[in-house]
Structure 1
Amino acid sequence: MKVFSIMNVSHHLNSVEICCIISVVNIAKEIGFFVNRDFIDFVEKQVSASAKRVIRIDWQNESFWVKSPEETRVTIWHRLASPLSTLIKNPLLRSTVASGGAEELLAEAARIRLLHQKGMPVPEVVAQSDEWFVIRDGGRSIRGVLKDKTLSAADKLGILQKVAAALGDIHARGGWHGRPALRDILWDGEQVTFIDFEENLAARLDPLLCQVRDLLLFTHSLFRLWGDADYSRPVLNTYRDTAPVSVWEQSIKEAQRLNWACKLLKVARHVGGHDVVNAYLTLRFFSEYDKAS
């Protein structure tokens, strides 16, 4: 089995980050997980037997997830985003969809390892080849948690506030996710874990805009699955109190810059579906935040 060299993704990372990742890999090798041939053979067998891109496996009373590469399905909106971004001189609208394939899979694993090394709430990558990587299970998706009828509204709000605080902490440490939708965030009853770091924002946006994009996408997902500003304000206030002030302030500025888009979305929201409605609500929330606060 071929194992990728970390240098294959060196163009995504600086020398310090690469050294950190190599250190993590060496530690993992020392504790024996990467050289567990039985585990590797088991993963290979499960991957070969499944047509799914992401599969769950159980090994020695512990659950893991195996992720394989997938060619990106670029939509017309992805193709239009970058020209529009250039036309209106707003880099926030650039398409950041990953190109897919094995190289992008390796780059995602490297991003996860780097954040894990820095102590951020991401899963541990326990094994990897040129065709897949394996992470430890982190619990249920927040989307699933919100559908759980055994949990009270207060319980769900408390979990969402922990999620918001975790995202704010990632930003406070200089990191970002790329697409922090609630379906890509897990809860195990005690801890929050962020997964799916497919999009390489750093190749297109500066760090502050990466974090602003995180906040806007998180808010969009929050409005869609939890409720509009009245329900979501306590969650967003938790983020605001945890994250750098610059991210919150810049999000307000970006929403105000996109006032024209907010007006278009207001007109289209009756026929555009949930995404359009919640994009409108997100831009309106931040563009009017000063008035509402």
Structure 2
Amino acid sequence: MTAAADTDPDLIARVAQTTDRIERLEHQGQVVWVKREERLSLRMRLQKGAGASAFERERAALHRLAGLDVPVPPILAEGPDFFMTPDSGVSLQTMVRDDLGADGERRAAFVAAAQGLAGLHARRISHGHPRLKDICWKDGRITFIDFERFSDKLNTPSGHARDLATFVFSAIAEAGGPTGDLDAARDAYRTADEQGIWERTRTLVRRLRFIDWLTKPLQFRPDGKSREFKAIPATLRYFERG
């Protein structure tokens, strides 16, 4: 096990006792998160890939990106099958679902997220899968988490477009449609976009129109599980608007 020099030994001992894949700990008034390698069934390994490779990919990405001054959480301690990071605040997903962020705070968080994503792309870095739950807001700044899909193969304009499409799709799925917060984020990204990523994303989304037709039956499921499927045509229309 390795740990930062100022990590409390008592906290390290508590980490050794955790068993859940992601576990929240409170220590001396502070919140930290412990993340472990995901243990997958054969079926899930076939769908998602090996848990160990995703875990190591994220760990390596956090070390690397922290060294580049990218807004990611620092690793406070780590071992063969875990790493620990400080709490990064509330996710944008929670802000939307729980209607948090009065007096424009949620909009500020969305704008900061878009600016942060544009900043990554300007440095030829892609997150890999930036959903609202992977972007946190605390003390007026955003932090990107969950880099299990980070890959140098995605650090390209095409990878940036995929990032942007994922972000917009996630925002529409969580809110049930486009919102003023998303519009503000869109405008912030386009203002910072010097590589034409927004237009590239529009082209990408147009090429994916067939997914709307393939998922039409699922968009009208009566069991309440159609939210993301319904977001597909809404996302297509959003990018069509320009």
With structure 1 as the length reference, what TM-score do the two structures score? 0.70
In 2, distance between residues paired with 1:201 and 1:111? 8
Pairing 1:243–2:206 present: no
Equivalence for 2:76: 126
- 1:158-196 CA-to-partner distances (Å, cap 9, x unmatched) read 221111111111111111111111111111131101111
Tell me how many residue pairs correspond in the alignment: 237
Pairing 1:70–2:23 present: no
Equivalence for 2:51: 100
1:151-166 alignment runs, 5 A limit = 151-152=101-102, 154-166=104-116
Pairing 1:140–2:90 present: yes
- 1:119-146 CA-to-partner distances (Å, cap 9, x unmatched) read 1111011211101111121111122223
Relative to its length, the structure with more helix (as a share) is: 1
In 2, distance between residues paired with 1:52 and 1:200? 23
In 2, distance between residues paired with 1:118 and 1:145? 28
**CA shift in 2, pair 1:123/1:206, >3 Å:** closer
Residue aligned with 1:51, SS:
coil
Equivalence for 1:256: 206
Equivalence for 1:90: none
Residue aligned with 2:196, SS:
helix
Q: Could you say which structure has the larger radius of gyration?
A: 1
**CA shift in 2, pair 1:152/1:73, >3 Å:** farther
Pairing 1:190–2:140 present: yes
- 1:41-98 CA-to-partner distances (Å, cap 9, x unmatched) read 63343342x332111223344322111101346868x75xxxxxxxxxxxxxxxxx45
**CA shift in 2, pair 1:233/1:42, >3 Å:** closer
| Greater shift in the superposed pair: 139-148 or 171-180 | 139-148
Relative to its length, the structure with more strand (as a share) is: 2
RMSD of aligned Cα (Å): 2.8
Residue aligned with 1:133, SS:
strand
> Is the CA contact 2:134–2:145 (under 8 Å) kept in the aligned structure 1?
yes
**CA shift in 2, pair 1:269/1:121, >3 Å:** same
Amino acid at match of 2:15: Q
Equivalence for 2:22: 54
**CA shift in 2, pair 1:74/1:230, >3 Å:** farther
| Greater shift in the superposed pair: 132-141 or 155-164 | 155-164
Equivalence for 1:87: none
Residue aligned with 1:269, SS:
helix
Identity %: 26
In 2, distance between residues paired with 1:67 and 1:98? 18
Pairing 1:173–2:123 present: yes
**CA shift in 2, pair 1:153/1:45, >3 Å:** closer
- 1:23-54 CA-to-partner distances (Å, cap 9, x unmatched) read xxxxx86xx24xx5x53x63343342x33211
In 1, distance between residues paired with 2:66 and 2:121? 14
Pairing 1:219–2:168 present: yes
> Is the CA contact 2:176–2:231 (under 8 Å) kept in the aligned structure 1?
no
Structure 1 residue runs without a partner (length 5+): 4-27, 80-96
Structure 2 residue runs without a partner (length 5+): none
**CA shift in 2, pair 1:268/1:146, >3 Å:** closer
- 1:242-270 CA-to-partner distances (Å, cap 9, x unmatched) read 23433212111111222333344456522
In 2, distance between residues paired with 1:60 and 1:268? 47
Alignment match of 1:274 (pick from 216, 227, 235): 227
| Greater shift in the superposed pair: 209-218 or 151-160 | 151-160
**CA shift in 2, pair 1:237/1:265, >3 Å:** farther
With structure 2 as the length reference, what TM-score do the two structures score? 0.84
Amino acid at match of 2:35: K
